[in-house]
Structure 1
Amino acid sequence: MSASSFIAHTTEVDGAIHVITLNRPEAQNALTMDMLNDIASVFLSLRSDTTVRAVILTGSGQKAFSAGIDLMKADGIFTGYFPTPAEQDPRVQIESFPWPVICAVNGFAITGGFELALACDILIASENASFADTHAKFGIAPAWGLSQKLTRIMGPSRAKELHFTGRFLKANEAAAWGLVNSVVPPDKLMPHCLGLATEMTKMNPAMLQMLKRTIDDGYGMSFKDGCSNEQSVAFAYYKAMGKELFDKMKKFIASRGSKEGKSKL
């Protein structure tokens, strides 16, 4: 199914995996206000889908994930889009999405496209992928967390190099710097991401959501506070478990063991 003319939306594994594709290849998947609204709208609508377990965000073609905000059509974005209501903000909707979001970076991700990728939980890069921040080049202020996230991912010195020069960080270098989890050939990108997402569909759904929330909440805390928060979440979970939930957990474990055992026969 299609979300809009520039956002393609398909499903895999009986609707458990949703693939959202930036579909404006003639413009290097550059983002317009309508596209930003549509991305946010798709993620917002998926919150009520009881079958979804993971989302893959990618771009069409093998050249560009996204060239960022379309500066030729950006008047409305810079004069009226910020600050953005949460329900219309794709970064907020992706970061706060309750299920894992994998970014399949199929080509270059520049500035706003770079920020959109970093809103996802896991980044997998094609060998064609590269990353660049051109905020300083064009006199645009970052507003989706890029200046803070890069520092935490790769350290302030490397982050400043990218911010201050606008140079492209190639896929293998991005992996060496800890920006992406892995780099794969272009034709293996979506199969690899679908494989990861499929493994996620096999996890305990409640714990999958809880782990994402606990990790993200703790990332913004000190180590001590993050550990304390983890304990609080765990204690609340076990306190509310009860016999019914415990029995469901045992059945889930038994079913997984049975399936894995059969696969080895």
Structure 2
Amino acid sequence: MAEGLVTRHDDGALCTLTLNRPDKLNSINNAMFVALDRHVRAIASAGAEIGCVVLRGAGRCFSAGHDLGDIATGEAQDFGFESRVIERLANLPQAVITAIHGHCYTGALELALAGDIILVSESARIADTHAKWALTPVWGMSQRLPRRVGFAKAREMMFTAKSYTGAEAAAMGLANACFADDRFADEVAAFANSILANSAFSIAGYKALMAETDAMPMTMALAHEVHNTKGVGPDMHERIARFSSRKA
């Protein structure tokens, strides 16, 4: 069933989505996007019940990328739909963490770049191999990768199809942090919990403001922030009261 290609597990306000095609190294196909879309839409409507989303892969890796076998056999694709699913994931009001271990190639990297935060293990191997297969991107690589690492490094990745280690990904700013393999799951959980300790209202407000002002000149963006800020969240008084009680 398509639904089982992406699984969901909630632990309190933490939602973990797992690409679940381990026998195919979680290679991405249209059916996986259909399953992912259902979960993303449900999370978007969950409101404050979910404060952070972790996207990961089952088995040996995050994902080997778009299923080349399916492409070769003419699998039905809807690139517009698939691109919109990634956009919906990126635009969730909740913080989104992409947790990468093992392979993360090409289409998988395009999916990973939807994360607000990217965390990698030392075993991670990350590459954009579109040029290796005479392909061009349709899931956002040409836009999200340069915004993450800068145009010079993005061109290097795109033009050489070189694979980068987890440590190299962190050094270039592609990943926020790189962790040892044996600590990776615990470190991802700790990072997610550090986000969950803060106000989901504020995080959603940050994401909205950054999305709305992307590519605006600074003066316009500053004015937009003043006039479009979400202001005070419903949990402000409770949070200040807790802080004040600890000081007393």
TM-score by length of 1: 0.84
Q: Secondary structure at the match of 1:55?
A: strand
Task: Tell me the distance in 2 between the aligned counterparts of 1:121 and 1:254.
Answer: 30
Task: Tell me the distance in 1 between the aligned counterparts of 2:222 and 2:116.
Answer: 20
Question: What letter is aligned with 1:253?
Answer: I
Deviating more after overlay: 189-198 vs 161-170: 189-198
Any unmatched runs of 5+ in structure 2?
Answer: none
Please give the residue correspondences for 1:138-217 in structure 2 after superposition, counting only pairs within 5 Å. 138-217=133-212
1:85 Cα deviation after fit: 7.5
Task: Tell me the distance in 1 between the aligned counterparts of 2:138 and 2:218.
Answer: 26
Q: Secondary structure at the match of 2:209?
A: helix
User: Partner residue of 2:54?
Assistant: 56
Please give the residue correspondences for 1:74-89 in structure 2 after superposition, counting only pairs within 5 Å. 74=71, 75-77=74-76, 80-84=77-81, 89=84
User: Partner residue of 1:23?
Assistant: 20
- Confirm or deny: 8 A CA contact 2:2 2:32 kept in the other structure: no
Question: What letter is aligned with 2:150?
Answer: G
TM-score by length of 2: 0.89
User: Partner residue of 1:45?
Assistant: 42
**Is residue 229 of structure 2 the alignment partner of residue 252 of structure 1?**
no
User: Partner residue of 1:111?
Assistant: 106
1:228 Cα deviation after fit: 2.1
1:187 Cα deviation after fit: 2.5
Q: How many pairs were matched up?
A: 245
- Confirm or deny: 8 A CA contact 2:2 2:31 kept in the other structure: no
Q: Secondary structure at the match of 1:5?
A: helix
Task: Tell me the distance in 1 between the aligned counterparts of 2:85 and 2:180.
Answer: 28
Q: Secondary structure at the match of 2:118?
A: strand
User: Partner residue of 1:134?
Assistant: 129
- Confirm or deny: 8 A CA contact 2:33 2:82 kept in the other structure: no
Any unmatched runs of 5+ in structure 1?
Answer: none
1:168-194 Cα shifts (integer Å, max 9, x gaps): 011111111111011001232222122
Task: Evaluate the alpha carbon distance shift between residue 117 and residue 256 of structure 1 in structure 2; reply closer, same or farther with a 3 A threshold.
Answer: farther
1:3 Cα deviation after fit: 8.1
- Confirm or deny: 8 A CA contact 2:99 2:118 kept in the other structure: yes
- Confirm or deny: 8 A CA contact 1:46 1:52 kept in the other structure: yes
1:128 Cα deviation after fit: 0.7
Question: What letter is aligned with 1:52?
Answer: I
Task: Evaluate the alpha carbon distance shift between residue 56 and residue 256 of structure 1 in structure 2; reply closer, same or farther with a 3 A threshold.
Answer: farther
User: Partner residue of 2:92?
Assistant: 97
Task: Evaluate the alpha carbon distance shift between residue 130 and residue 202 of structure 1 in structure 2; reply closer, same or farther with a 3 A threshold.
Answer: same
Deviating more after overlay: 125-134 vs 189-198: 189-198
Task: Evaluate the alpha carbon distance shift between residue 137 and residue 257 of structure 1 in structure 2; reply closer, same or farther with a 3 A threshold.
Answer: farther
Q: Secondary structure at the match of 2:178?
A: strand
Q: Secondary structure at the match of 1:229?
A: helix
Task: Evaluate the alpha carbon distance shift between residue 4 and residue 157 of structure 1 in structure 2; reply closer, same or farther with a 3 A threshold.
Answer: same
Task: Tell me the distance in 2 between the aligned counterparts of 1:122 and 1:143.
Answer: 22
